[in-house]
Amino acid sequence: MPTSSASGHSKQSSSNVAATAAVEETITAVSTDDQGKTTVEQVKVVEGKLESNPKRSSVLKPLLTGMLVYALLLLCFAHLFVVHATPVVWHEITGLTVLVVVIVHVMLLRSFFSFVGSQKAPVFIYRDIVLLLLAIFFMVSIISGIAFSKVIFKNWLTFPGDRAMWRNVHAFATSYLLLLIGMHLGCYLNKFYIWLSEGLAPLILGKAYQQLPQDMAEAVKRAETLSKAAKNVRLALSVGLGLMAINGLYQFFATSFFYKLINERKFAFYDFDRLAIFNVIDQLSIMVLAMVISALICRFLLQRSVKPE
């Protein structure tokens, strides 16, 4: 059940406070738990009523922007593993675009690396190992891709060995890269669930739930409603990811993906009888399969990290 709490302090003017003067307080109404219950933010109370914040930004724009960015990145990554979906030049341009995005991503989160070594819990060790392997295979994929480039870097740079060798290295590295991207995302799947469910819940319920409540009773009641809506969103996400993971498991065996991992198959599977978007979705499903498995591993390790009282 959601819990609510309130804390406050009064602001007094420098002059004497008249009996009719408005009393202002800052209170915090909370309805949250570890499963992503909704939190009612800190607000100002004037004469016993919660005061709306006119500068409060709508959740719609940042939520939709974030969802669009994530969707485009996932489709972009998945597209890279379907080399026949577009001309080679677009494959190389997409690869370079992803490189730029990853560099920006690392720069924005550079503070994260300052305390990586200090986190000793099994779940953090697992996360860091996945991140290290992801970085290694990503760099190998980029270097090998440049080494046997057919358009952009052709005849620009000279690498030891022949193009066929670098093509095999690229196929081998990108196979693991697809899985490692999913495993990396799986480490943060629970946070993504909370972010998306808490963002979508008020949008689904309507404009009234995007505004601040008028009093504490309404805040608690609204928090309970938002919590139920968020739970339904997480359930829908779980069903969607589950279906994609099942398709990913099927594609893993149907396309002999395992043989790419042991370097016995040198080419990327592509079904020319299907639209390119379906081939991309199949590769994305394999990524989602790795993401779901990784999320389950993180959950198991996190439970093991909790010391019984």
The mean predicted confidence, pLDDT, of the chain is 75
The amino acid that residue 99 corresponds to is: L
Closest by CA to 194, choosing from 140, 250, 234, 243, is: 234
Maximum distance among all Cα pairs of the chain, rounded to whole angstroms = 88
What would the pLDDT profile of 150-200 be if each residue is shown by its tens digit? 888 877 777 787 888 888 898 899 899 999 999 999 998 888 888 777 777
The verdict on pTM exceeding 0.85 is: no
**Lowest-pLDDT range, 41-50, 112-121, 199-208, 239-248?**
41-50
Most confident of 93-102, 151-160, 241-250: 241-250
Show Cβ contacts of residue 157 under 8 Å, excluding neighbours closer than 6 positions: 146, 147
Q: Which of 39, 296, 73, 38 is nearest to 190 (CA)?
A: 296
Return the structure tokens found at 303. Answer: 């439970």
Please report the pLDDT score of residue 182 as a whole number: 92
pLDDT given at position 46: 52
Q: What is the pLDDT of residue 64?
A: 64
User: Measured between alpha carbons, how far is 91 from 200 in angstroms, rounded to an integer?
Assistant: 34
CB atoms within 10 A of CB 137: 20
Amino acid at 210: Q
Alpha-carbon distance of 138 to 153, in angstroms, equals 18
Nearest to 60 by CA among 207, 278, 217: 207
Candidate from 40-44, 222-226, 302-306 with smallest mean pLDDT: 40-44
pLDDT (mean) for 281-308: 87
The single residue listed with the structure tokens 């994260």 is 112
Lowest mean pLDDT among 40-49, 177-186, 195-204, 272-281: 40-49
pLDDT tops 70 at residue 227: yes
